[in-house]
Structure 1
Amino acid sequence: MYLQFRDEVEAAVASALESLDLPTDDLGIEDPPEGVDAVLASSAAFRLAGEVGAAPPEVAGQIADEIDAGEYDLLAAALAQGPYVNFLPSEAYYEATVESAQSPEFGRLEPTGESVVVEHTSANPTGPVHVGRARNPIVGDAVARVLDFAGNEVERHYYVNDAGRQMAVFTWAYETFDEDDLPDPERDKPDYDLVRYYRKGNEVLEEGDPDEVEDAEAEIQAIMQGLEEGDEETYDRVQEVVDTVLGGMRETLSRLPAEFDEFVKETRFLRDGSADDVVERLKALDQAVYEEEAWQLELDEFDIENNFVFLRSDGTTLYTTRDIAHHEWKFENFDRAITVIGEDHQLTFEQLRRTLELLGHDTDRLDQLFYSWVNLPGGEGMSTRAGTGIDLDDLLDEAIDRAREEVETRMDDRIRDDDLTDDDVERIARQVGIGAVRYDIVAKQPTKAITFEWDRALDFEAQSAPYVQYVHARCCGILEEAGIDPSEASASLGEFDASLLETDAERELVEVVARFPAVIEEAAADLEPHVVATYTREFAETFNAFYRECPVLADDVDDDLREARLALVAASKHAVGNALGVLGVAAPRSM
């Protein structure tokens, strides 16, 4: 209803401005000022004061006088207050919101017909996923979920770097060293098993006997050349390593969860000839030069000092060259391409964008979402090559352990039901622990570096994942106590009269529920899933106020009001549950 209400407000302001013979290019629709009892406001009076020749409050009064709220279904009043025109919703707004939010799919927007590919994570398959890179799959998966909920056809892709030097080093090391040369693996997982070879190989290349290093480098170069030439035997050798390590990484990512529709290997673009085609077209550009034994593009016309190197003197392409072919493939198959990637790649992606423009592509279809790093207290470094840092598996295990301990100590009825079984405790520990990690990371603006802190993430009382998750569990508990299956609440509720929801606490909760589709719209438009997290915190506070002030199942609540409040609880469950789902955070039925 919020989106429809906004449409009515926009129509009302535009009509009023036309009546006053004033421009309608900027209606100034926004949230009302702090403390104002309204759903939306217009600040157009600020912009128009000079044109009208009157102070903003006077202009706001003129605009409000021109609006007849009776012409609209959801608008009750347009009131001037200072320089703003504030818009109050009608009774129909509240009633229709509660009714529409009975749908389990509440908040999902109408199909846009647009296909979107979201590429994220894409960590090199050289070993276990590290905490320092954990922001990529968490933010990337949340972006994909937001876009899907906003009505887009979304595919999630992982771009696998299986053609670069790192994989050649890995393949050489895997074929060279014996198990006896290596330490025991840290976990019984394929990525932990094979990363030992990679670390051993780098150790030898950096510190080994010069003759041994010379022989190794010759073999590494031969592997890279074999991939470039499409040699099947070389490809199979490399893929044995790539697929094994990637399998272990996928197990870890599935715990978040971060699932993928396709793992796109960069060797695809070597094997099908598209990388070679890119090279020939780049060579033909006026900006192409051969300098320092490499083919490069000069991009100074775009104020980029660093040239874009696309072909080595030995005839091998670079990752960036193959990524041009990759993006051309994206443009052929999707309406829009989004890449979630670390902030240290900003220059590379600007070079990519400008190169695609020189090749004649519309780069308005291309978006990048850059993120900063996740640090742990103490600033531990993250290096697969050196074998230092904290693995994501370790972080998730620790999260579950800490959540389990927290749940087990909260034995009072408010937090934990005494009938919970050990399996229930384990389920809740996983949902809360992993949810805490994911929520704490996705709740921050991606461009801001963050330090992950356990006390904040797992605080049941503060604005964290457990705080919001418990609101969903509380909604489910109320419905269950009323004999309603929370998973089928919309079908199990009796008739209700939403007009009975008259208190401030009830109305405020309905207003927050109503805003959820608009939050999805905003998050999708700006690629900012953190605004959904902000919404869930506001939602939790508003629901808790309702819970304190408006008993649902108390003996002194009459039947009609009871049914109306149960309907509001069901609506709340759908809104907060779907918001958590968009963030990739579990919505527990009990805690």
Structure 2
Amino acid sequence: MFRAFRSEVEHAIESALQTLAFPTDDLGVETPPKDVPATLASSVAFRLARSANDSPPVVADDIAAAIDLDPDSQSYEYIEHVDTRGPYVNFHVNDEYYTDTLAAGQDPEYGHLPDTGQSVVVEHTSANPTGPIHVGRGRNTIFGDAVARLLEYNGDTVDRHYYLNDAGRQVGVFTWAYEKFDPDSLPDPERDRIDYELVRYYRRGNEFLENADDTAVESAEAEIAAIINGLDAGDTETYERVETVVDQVIEGMQLSFGRLSAAFDEFIKETRFIRNGDADAVVERLKAADSAVYEDDAWQIDLSSHDIEKNLVFLRSDGTTLYTTRDLAHHEWKFNNYDASVTVLGEDHKLQAEQLDATLQILGNDTDQLRQPFYSWVNLPEGGMSTREGTGVDLDDLLDEAIARARQEVYDRLDSRDRDDSLTDDDIDRIARQVGVGAVRYDIVSKQPTKGITFEWDRALDFEAQSAPYIQYVHARCCGIEAEVESSTTLNIADFTSESIPGATALHSDAERALLREIARFPSVVESAATDLEPHVVATFARSFAEQFNTFYRECSVLNAESEAVTAARIALVRAARNTVANALDIVGVDAPQSM
């Protein structure tokens, strides 16, 4: 409804400006200031005041007077009336707007936008397959998965890909170490899981290369180089040796992703583009480019014409390709198979991303279909993280701690209320998992991705503050209200549909109308956030929506309403609120519990 109303407002402003012979390049439609009781406003009078040689309030009055709301001449479905306050032209909605919003909100899929017909591949995480995922890289998973969810709500067809580095030096070291060291010589794994078992080889291999004598290191490096060269040559035996290690690690990592409800549609291996010849084809095309140079015993692309000082190396002196060379082939494959491509990257990859984009253009690609959002790191009070050194904070550790703290919070809250014996241990475990994991996901998604995060337990798990549990509790409260109405009245909520619900005319209080306006706004929030790839905008909406619902809950009784008609309308409003908050949480990857 909000999107339709906004279109009407834009049309009304544009028509008025044309009538007044004003330019229409910027309509100034926006959310009004908090003290302006309207659904939308236009600040265009600010822009036009100088050319009109008049004050903004006077220009605003002229624009409002030029807006024709006569139903015989204009077809405005939702605009009730227009007024001004200072320099703002304010637009107010009618009862039909609220009724249609209430009806639309009954759909469990509310917030999903129409199919765009666009296919999008979202590549995220893509951590080197050398061990368990750590907290810092976990932000890529959480942010990337939220972006994919957001684009699906926007109406796009989305595939989630993990680009698997199975051809680089780290994998060569890992494979060599796996084949060299006896498992009995390694420390016990931190968890009984394959990725935790195998990372011990990787760590021991790096320790050996750093501390062994020169002769031993030279011999090891030769074996590692043979693995890397074998991969680049497409040697089947070498590929199978590496696959043995890599596939097992990915199997374990997927268990961590599963705890976050972050799934991948496909793991795209880097060696795929070596073995099918695509990387070699990219090399030949780059060699033929005008900007190709051979310097420092390597083939490079001079990117100075794209204002990038550092050249991109695409072929070593020994004839082997690099990660970026294969990634160029990978991106061209994505361009050929999808309408748009999104790659989520850490902020330390900005230069490589610029080089990739520029080189793809040199290869003749239209990179407008490529978007590369960046994220900053997640820190814990405990300090830094490094899988290679074995000193990192694994994502599983963070999730275990979050669930344990959430469980304790549930027990504390139950004890303070003379514990509710209707909650079983399974219920408490479910709530602890939903709240704990939800707290981690929400705390990370709710921040602008380019800002660094220091994760703080007390804030993330605060049931009373602006956090995931606070929002989740709204959904649980909605479910509880619906259950009470079902058991205490003759109303059959299950029969409510968008066609059979009560009208919104019974909802006339400020709290009810404000909640309806927020519900109406949700699809527009999805659209705007998807356009900018900013799931944190949805997280912010969910938080403000929870506040608005709690205002309604305090001021408007459902069971003790003044009439059955008001009760029916309010329970329909509760259901619309439940669907809205559930889907807002779903976009950021947070469960919506039915009880807490």
Q: TM-score normalised by the shorter chain: which range applies?
A: over 0.9
**Residue 467 of structure 1 aligns to which amino acid in structure 2?**
Y
- Show the 5 A alignment for 1:200-219: 200-219=204-223
8 A contact 2:341–2:370 mirrored in 1: yes
Q: 1:230 aligns with which of 217, 227, 234?
A: 234
Q: 1:511 aligns with which of 517, 523, 526?
A: 517
Alpha carbons of 1:412 and 1:515: their partners in 2 closer, same or farther (altered >3 Å)?
A: farther
Alpha carbons of 1:414 and 1:47: their partners in 2 closer, same or farther (altered >3 Å)?
A: farther
**Residue 360 of structure 2 aligns to which amino acid in structure 1?**
L
Q: 1:492: how far off?
A: 11
* Equivalent residue, structure 1, for 2:4: 4
- Show the 5 A alignment for 1:98-137: 98-137=102-141
**Residue 551 of structure 1 aligns to which amino acid in structure 2?**
S
SS at match of 2:401: helix
Q: 1:49: how far off?
A: 1.4
**Residue 587 of structure 1 aligns to which amino acid in structure 2?**
A
Give the distance between the partners of 1:562 and 1:184, measured in 2 at CA: 61
SS at match of 1:309: strand
8 A contact 1:493–1:567 mirrored in 2: no
8 A contact 2:103–2:499 mirrored in 1: no
Q: Are 1:254 and 2:254 an aligned pair?
A: no
8 A contact 1:185–1:196 mirrored in 2: yes
SS at match of 1:337: strand
Q: 1:34: how far off?
A: 2.3
* Equivalent residue, structure 2, for 1:43: 43
Q: Are 1:56 and 2:56 an aligned pair?
A: yes
Q: 1:454: how far off?
A: 0.2
8 A contact 2:36–2:85 mirrored in 1: no
8 A contact 1:182–1:197 mirrored in 2: yes
8 A contact 1:157–1:264 mirrored in 2: yes
8 A contact 1:479–1:489 mirrored in 2: no
SS at match of 2:557: coil
**Residue 572 of structure 1 aligns to which amino acid in structure 2?**
A
* Equivalent residue, structure 2, for 1:298: 302
Q: Are 1:280 and 2:281 an aligned pair?
A: no
* Equivalent residue, structure 1, for 2:507: 501
* Equivalent residue, structure 2, for 1:388: 391
Alpha carbons of 1:535 and 1:487: their partners in 2 closer, same or farther (altered >3 Å)?
A: farther
Alpha carbons of 1:480 and 1:534: their partners in 2 closer, same or farther (altered >3 Å)?
A: same
- Show the 5 A alignment for 1:164-563: 164-378=168-382, 380-411=383-414, 417-483=420-486, 490=496, 495-554=501-560, 557-563=562-568
* Deviation string, structure 1 residues 288-332 (Cα, Å, up to 9, x no partner): 111111101111111211110000011110001100000000000
Aligned-residue sequence identity (percent) comes to 64
Q: 1:52: how far off?
A: 1.5
Give the distance between the partners of 1:417 and 1:84, measured in 2 at CA: 52
Alpha carbons of 1:487 and 1:386: their partners in 2 closer, same or farther (altered >3 Å)?
A: farther
Q: 1:349: how far off?
A: 0.3
Give the distance between the partners of 2:68 and 2:419, measured in 1 at CA: 52
Alpha carbons of 1:415 and 1:504: their partners in 2 closer, same or farther (altered >3 Å)?
A: farther
SS at match of 1:564: helix
Give the distance between the partners of 2:310 and 2:130, measured in 1 at CA: 28
* Deviation string, structure 1 residues 389-437 (Cα, Å, up to 9, x no partner): 2110011011110000001111279898541111111000000000000
Gaps of 5+ in 2: none
* Deviation string, structure 1 residues 218-258 (Cα, Å, up to 9, x no partner): 11111111111111000000000000011111111110121
Give the distance between the partners of 1:574 and 1:127, measured in 2 at CA: 39
Alpha carbons of 1:54 and 1:17: their partners in 2 closer, same or farther (altered >3 Å)?
A: same
8 A contact 1:3–1:517 mirrored in 2: yes
Give the distance between the partners of 1:271 and 1:560, measured in 2 at CA: 69
SS at match of 1:168: helix
* Equivalent residue, structure 2, for 1:571: 576
Give the distance between the partners of 2:507 and 2:70, measured in 1 at CA: 22
Alpha carbons of 1:487 and 1:333: their partners in 2 closer, same or farther (altered >3 Å)?
A: farther
SS at match of 1:331: helix
* Equivalent residue, structure 2, for 1:585: 590
SS at match of 1:509: helix
Q: Are 1:21 and 2:21 an aligned pair?
A: yes
Alpha carbons of 1:282 and 1:502: their partners in 2 closer, same or farther (altered >3 Å)?
A: same
8 A contact 2:107–2:498 mirrored in 1: no
527-536 or 380-389, which moves further after superposition?
A: 380-389
Alpha carbons of 1:437 and 1:470: their partners in 2 closer, same or farther (altered >3 Å)?
A: same
**Residue 530 of structure 1 aligns to which amino acid in structure 2?**
H
* Equivalent residue, structure 2, for 1:146: 150
Alpha carbons of 1:550 and 1:352: their partners in 2 closer, same or farther (altered >3 Å)?
A: same
8 A contact 1:444–1:530 mirrored in 2: yes
Give the distance between the partners of 1:492 and 1:480, measured in 2 at CA: 20
Alpha carbons of 1:415 and 1:138: their partners in 2 closer, same or farther (altered >3 Å)?
A: farther
Give the distance between the partners of 1:413 and 1:570, measured in 2 at CA: 29
Give the distance between the partners of 1:31 and 1:355, measured in 2 at CA: 41
8 A contact 2:45–2:56 mirrored in 1: yes
**Residue 519 of structure 1 aligns to which amino acid in structure 2?**
V
* Deviation string, structure 1 residues 160-195 (Cα, Å, up to 9, x no partner): 000001101100000000012110111001110000
8 A contact 1:16–1:63 mirrored in 2: yes
**Residue 214 of structure 1 aligns to which amino acid in structure 2?**
E
259-268 or 72-81, which moves further after superposition?
A: 72-81
8 A contact 1:513–1:572 mirrored in 2: yes
Q: 1:497: how far off?
A: 2.6
Give the distance between the partners of 1:415 and 1:506, measured in 2 at CA: 33
Q: 1:21: how far off?
A: 1.3
8 A contact 2:506–2:569 mirrored in 1: yes
8 A contact 2:103–2:497 mirrored in 1: no
Q: 1:370: how far off?
A: 0.2
SS at match of 2:111: coil
8 A contact 2:298–2:316 mirrored in 1: yes
Give the distance between the partners of 1:15 and 1:258, measured in 2 at CA: 47
* Deviation string, structure 1 residues 321-349 (Cα, Å, up to 9, x no partner): 10000000000000000011100000000
Q: TM (normalized to structure 2)?
A: 0.97
8 A contact 1:104–1:490 mirrored in 2: no
**Residue 164 of structure 1 aligns to which amino acid in structure 2?**
G
